[in-house]
């Protein structure tokens, strides 16, 4: 499914410093029963955003008006662990987020994000702390994520760090391409390879 | 050059390497289930693609199937819709499909090996993180997202950067009541829930050599719970013995040819790993978790550590204990429980039922415990009956249910109610994993059985002697 190109994003951010946020929290299993990809924002962090009676939990960062409309989420270490459900990445995207920043990501979640147009930006633990502190001090803190230059910057102070992304995935994100386009283009080569497999 | 088992299998599946990018990685075997495949088929169709190698994909219904009255129509319309989508997509593209009621149906990571679809040296993926299970046979197996499911369906490849390699050696002999599940929970407690992120693990040493195939599957299954993409064990005589004659394994001359290849699948002397850890079997006791990730595990006789004694942030740790309604320093033994779940792709195999029965035989389920015993497949059910374990289960006051993922992730009706405490042989103790507000203690089938008959967390060794 196509996604919007990613270039430079400047936005306020939701802070979620809890570590080891697993994909069961991002989207609980009982909301995985759809056969289409739509409206996954509704149950994004369902049990952390809402009480069992459906009323919002006012103190949860994603519910705070002051952060509303942010396109970036700064998460704690080991963000997106556990289940491979791509629904977690879909729910991030459908909620309006285009970038998740953390000092460490779980592998499958990171891959899924890249495949659906959400940029996972891994920063040092120190820089993650700097970002959290800045947001706590001023909830309207703006963060600039510059994909062409691979930098993430606190707009107000200019504090900045570079991040890694391989050049293949970077091109994909900049242009809104995906892996299937690439793979279909080398169909013949794959078919030839397949004939060499013993089983 | 000396190569690791992982290198041998990985490198032989690389169609091409993208410069400063991932490998184009060929997939031999692809499993699909009802939850993570429907959107992949929609994507395939919207692009006008088809399934290129339908004979390499295998469908089974498991994640949200009911575990009672499977002969009746599925009551939940959303679940029924997903099951229909799986069946229809499989029929449309000529993919093998084991739906509800099929004699081969069961949890994807149980039915793959027992039907001989899982083979040494193969690459295996599925839209499920516990695909790592199949590494027990010396395959490279790991979980993928739905976009990647679509890639496999339409091209038989995915684009993956090669993970780093790690070897975990456990040597010595396991003590009484210490099972493969305990070995895995011990390793994860040492590595933490994210310690192996970015790595693919090979398990080596006496303990894994001595283990049955079922045990090896339990260990490899849990690799993802320390962040590893997957885990694998070099195939040996036990592996070949397990596979020989299964419905989909190579036969005759093809078997001999396969064996010639499979016998090359080991880590060469002198091959190097990016990380290596050694553990001693004597340090492992029956394990139990106390928190909200699988890395939060301790020996069942131990007390919950203080926040300062564990890796990671204090606030996250306290949030976790707060969710569990536990305190630092609490003993785990004696905590009163409400539910016991025996099953899942981690511990839903015949050996797990044998272990459970070894404790409950001649005893009775505690009145305060609701127990769900869910075999991993129909073949496991048949074996349980053939061995008379169903009688033991029945006499002890337990009920055997029908196969499926069940209360491991509680997509069906098998949900632990809010606040209730469950001893579960499954793989995740995340908040709400077994139902909104549920609290999960991960443990082995032996710990589950001992706790089920005592009504509280119990060291199985006290009932084994």
Asked if pLDDT for residue B161 goes beyond 90, the answer is: yes
The residue with tokens 């942010």 is A70
Q: Where are the beta strands (DSSP E) in B290-394?
A: 297-299, 339-342, 370-373
Q: Which of A25, A32, A183 sits opposite B431 (nearest CB)?
A: A25
CA-nearest of B1, B88, B73 to B37 is B88
Q: Which residues, including other chains, have CB under 8 Å from residue A54's CB and lie 6 or more apart?
A: none
Instruction: Tell me the per-residue pLDDT of B393-404, one tens digit each, with 9 for 90 and over.
Output: 999 999 999 999
Tell me which of B259, B292, B430 to substitute to probe the interface with A (most A C-beta atoms closer than 10 Å): B430
Alpha-carbon distances, residue B360 vs B127, B217, B353, B390 (angstroms): 35, 24, 10, 12
User: Does B64 contact chain A (CB < 8 Å)?
Assistant: yes
User: Does A112 contact chain B (CB < 8 Å)?
Assistant: yes
How far is CA B416 from its chain centroid? 20
Assign residue B205 a region: left if phi > 0, alpha if psi is -120 to 50, beta otherwise? Answer: left
- The three-class DSSP label of residue A167 is helix
- What tokens does B96 get? 């093998």
Taking CA–CA distances from A18, the nearest residue in chain B reads B316
Q: Distance (Å, rounded) from C-alpha A51 to C-alpha B441?
A: 23
Q: Which of residues 38-77 of A touch B (CB under 8 A)?
A: 47, 52, 76-77
**Between chains, do B129 and A82 touch, taking CB under 8 Å as contact?**
yes
The CATH superfamily of A8-194 is: Aconitase, domain 4 (3.20.19.10)
Taking CA–CA distances from B77, the nearest residue in chain A reads A33
Fold match between domain B1-285 and domain B288-464: yes
Q: Where are the domains positioned within chain A?
A: 8-194
Q: Distance (Å, rounded) from C-alpha B208 to C-alpha B267?
A: 15
Q: Please give the angle made by the CA atoms of B130, A112 and B160, to the nearest 5 degrees.
A: 75
Q: Distance (Å, rounded) from C-alpha B372 to C-alpha B208?
A: 29
Give B445→chain A minimum CA distance, Å: 22
Tens-digit pLDDT string for chain A (199 aa): 578 899 999 999 999 999 999 999 999 999 999 999 999 999 999 999 999 999 999 999 999 999 999 999 999 999 999 999 999 999 999 999 999 999 999 999 999 999 999 999 999 999 999 999 999 999 999 999 999 999 999 999 999 999 999 999 999 999 999 999 999 999 999 999 999 999 9
The CATH class of the B288-464 domain is: alpha beta
Instruction: Tell me the per-residue pLDDT of B413-437, one tens digit each, with 9 for 90 and over.
Output: 999 999 999 999 999 999 999 999 9
- What tokens does B213 get? 């195939």
- What tokens does B424 get? 């579960």
Q: Distance (Å, rounded) from C-alpha B109 to C-alpha B251?
A: 22
Instruction: Tell me the per-residue pLDDT of B298-348, one tens digit each, with 9 for 90 and over.
Output: 999 999 999 999 988 999 999 999 999 999 999 999 999 999 999 999 999
pLDDT at residue B465, as a whole number: 74
The residue with tokens 């050049």 is A167
Q: Distance (Å, rounded) from C-alpha A155 to C-alpha A141?
A: 8
Q: Domain B1-285, CATH 3.40.50.300 — does that match?
A: no
Residues of chain B positioned with their CB less than 8 A from the CB of A33: 35, 64, 76, 78-79, 81-82, 411
- What tokens does B248 get? 């989909």
Residue B198 is classified by DSSP as T
**Between chains, do A35 and B85 touch, taking CB under 8 Å as contact?**
yes
CB atoms within 10 A of CB B386: 10
User: Does B171 contact chain A (CB < 8 Å)?
Assistant: no
Contacts across the A-B interface (CB distance below 8 Å): 205
User: Does B291 contact chain A (CB < 8 Å)?
Assistant: no
Angle between helices B378-386 and B350-360 (to 10 degrees): 40
pLDDT at residue B86, as a whole number: 98
- The three-class DSSP label of residue B231 is strand
- What tokens does B351 get? 């050996």
Report chain B's C-alpha Rg in angstroms. 21
User: Does A106 contact chain B (CB < 8 Å)?
Assistant: yes
CB atoms within 10 A of CB B272: 12
Q: Where are the domains positioned within chain B?
A: 1-285, 288-464
The secondary structure element, H or E, covering residue B183 is helix B180-191
């Amino acid at each position: 499914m196509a996604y919007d190109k990613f270039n430079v994003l400047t936005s306020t951010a939701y802070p979620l410093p809890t570590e080891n946020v697993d994909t069961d929290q991002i989207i609980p299993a009982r909301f995985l029963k759809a056969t289409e990809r739509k409206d996954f924002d509704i149950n994004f962090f369902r049990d952390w955003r809402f009480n069992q009676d459906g009323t919002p939990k006012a103190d949860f960062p994603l519910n705070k008006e002051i952060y509303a409309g942010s396109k970036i989420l700064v998460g704690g270490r080991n963000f997106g662990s556990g289940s491979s459900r791509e629904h977690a990445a879909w729910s991030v995207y459908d909620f309006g987020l285009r970038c998740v920043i953390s000092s460490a990501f779980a592998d499958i979640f990171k891959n899924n994000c890249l495949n659906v147009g959400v940029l996972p930006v891994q920063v040092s633990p120190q820089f993650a702390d700097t970002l959290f502190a800045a947001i706590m001090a001023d909830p309207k803190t703006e963060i600039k994520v510059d994909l062409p230059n691979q930098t993430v910057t606190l707009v107000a102070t200019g504090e900045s760090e570079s991040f890694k992304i391989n050049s293949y995935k970077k091109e994909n994100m900049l242009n809104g391409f995906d892996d299937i386009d690439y793979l279909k283009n080398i169909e013949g080569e794959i078919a030839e390879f397949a004939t060499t497999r013993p089983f | 050059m000396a190569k690791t088992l992982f290198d041998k299998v990985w490198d032989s599946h690389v169609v091409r390497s993208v410069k400063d990018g991932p490998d184009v990685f060929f997939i031999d075997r692809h499993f699909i289930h009802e939850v993570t495949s429907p959107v992949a088929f929609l994507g395939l169709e919207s692009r006008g693609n088809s399934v290129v190698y339908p004979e390499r994909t295998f469908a089974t219904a498991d994640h949200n199937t009911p575990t009672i009255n499977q002969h009746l129509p599925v009551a939940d319309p959303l679940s029924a819709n997903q099951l229909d989508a799986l069946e229809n997509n499989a029929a449309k593209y000529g993919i093998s499909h084991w739906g509800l009621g099929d004699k081969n149906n069961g949890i994807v990571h149980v039915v793959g090996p027992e039907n001989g679809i899982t083979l040494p040296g193969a690459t295996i993926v599925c839209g499920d993180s516990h695909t790592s299970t199949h590494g027990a046979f010396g395959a490279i197996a790991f979980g993928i997202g739905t976009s990647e499911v679509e890639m496999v369906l339409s091209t038989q490849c995915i684009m993956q950067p090669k993970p780093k390699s790690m070897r975990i050696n456990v040597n010595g002999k396991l003590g009484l009541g210490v099972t493969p599940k305990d070995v895995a929970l011990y390793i994860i407690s040492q590595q933490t829930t994210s310690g192996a992120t970015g790595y693919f693990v090979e398990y080596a040493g006496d303990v894994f050599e001595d283990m049955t195939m079922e045990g090896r599957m339990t260990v490899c299954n849990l690799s993802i719970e320390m962040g590893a993409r997957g885990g694998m064990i070099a195939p040996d005589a036990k592996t070949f013995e397990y596979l020989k004659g299964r419905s989909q394994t190579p036969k005759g001359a093809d078997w001999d040819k396969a064996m010639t290849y499979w016998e090359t699948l080991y880590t060469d002397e002198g091959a190097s790993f990016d990380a290596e850890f050694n553990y001693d079997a004597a340090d492992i006791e029956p394990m139990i978790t106390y928190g909200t990730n699988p890395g939060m595990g301790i020996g069942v006789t131990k007390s919950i550590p203080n926040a300062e004694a564990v890796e990671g942030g204090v606030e996250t740790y306290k949030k976790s204990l707060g969710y569990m309604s536990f305190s630092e320093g609490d003993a785990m033994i004696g905590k009163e429980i409400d539910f016991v779940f025996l099953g899942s792709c981690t511990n839903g195999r015949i050996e797990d039922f044998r272990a459970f029965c070894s404790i409950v035989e001649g005893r009775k389920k505690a009145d305060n415990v609701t127990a769900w015993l869910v075999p991993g497949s129909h073949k496991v059910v048949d074996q349980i009956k053939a061995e008379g374990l169903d009688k033991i289960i029945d006499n002890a006051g337990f009920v055997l249910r029908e196969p499926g993922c069940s209360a491991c992730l509680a997509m069906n009706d098998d949900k632990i109610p809010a606040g209730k405490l469950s001893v579960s042989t499954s793989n995740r103790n995340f908040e709400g994993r077994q139902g909104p507000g549920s609290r999960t203690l991960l443990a082995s089938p032996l710990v589950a059985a001992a706790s089920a008959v005592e009504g509280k967390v119990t060291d199985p060794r006290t009932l084994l002697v």
